[in-house]
Amino acid sequence: MGRRFAALVGLLAGLIVACDATVAPVSSPTSWHAESRDFVLQASIPKLQWSSADEIVVTTTLTWTGAAPTVQVGTSTDGPVEFSLNQLDGTLEMAGAHDLVCATKTFARGVATPVPFAKSGGWTADDPNASFYERFYRDPRLILPPGHWRLSIATEGFVGPCDPNTPRMDVALPPIDLLVLPVP
């Protein structure tokens, strides 16, 4: 009976330690990868937990891997990669916006083309978050208020000319959840 009780206590202590380990903040570099229609979209972020004073650094590349030496992509001026953010514990939503211009961009096979983080979006004057959006979009850096955030990164455009009959790029990374803590 004594051994069983000691073993049970040891097992429970191990489970508690294991549970604590799973909720520890991730601070090591993290990366994501997705492939579709001969494109590879990759992103990395140094950590998933930030302070509300930190600039969040997102490194993203898009690579053409198809048979042709180059490919032309029809996309909006800011495309072909779009970034959007949703506050999971609040009402802020910064979804990417597109202009109606069709820009053609060329990608060379096997070249990981850097795609800098860019903000795009819009709001109405009567939106209760209008003052936040105005400040957020004015600053090119990615700095978020405290909360749980979901970053989405996906391609936007056509594999070829801008035409509804042309295949879409359709590459999306899994959602990236970030925790932003108040400044101590």
**b/e per residue, 122-160, with b = 16+ CB within 10 A?**
ebeeeeeeeeebeebeeeeebebebbebebbbbbbbbbe
Instruction: List domains and CATH numbers for the chain.
Output: 28-181 (2.60.40.1470)
The H-or-E segment that residue 128 falls in is none
pLDDT reading at 114 higher than 90: yes
pLDDT above 60: residue 101: yes
Mean pLDDT for the stretch of residues 137-165: 94
Residue of 64, 57, 56, 58 lying closest to 80 (CA atoms):
64
pLDDT digits over 49-70, tens only? 999 999 999 999 999 999 999 9
Look at residue 22 and tell me whether its pLDDT is greater than 60: no
pLDDT at residue number 12:
36
Highest-scoring range by mean pLDDT, 76-80, 100-104, 161-165: 161-165
Has residue 120 got a pLDDT over 90? no
Residue 102 has pLDDT above 90, yes or no: no
Question: pTM for the full model?
Answer: 0.81
| Residue 52: per-residue pLDDT | 97
At 29 the pLDDT is: 62
Q: How far apart are CA 60 and CA 133, in angstroms?
A: 23
Q: Is residue 96 within 8 Å of 84, Cβ to Cβ?
A: yes
Residue 182 CB partners (closer than 8 Å, separation 6+)? 51, 52, 146
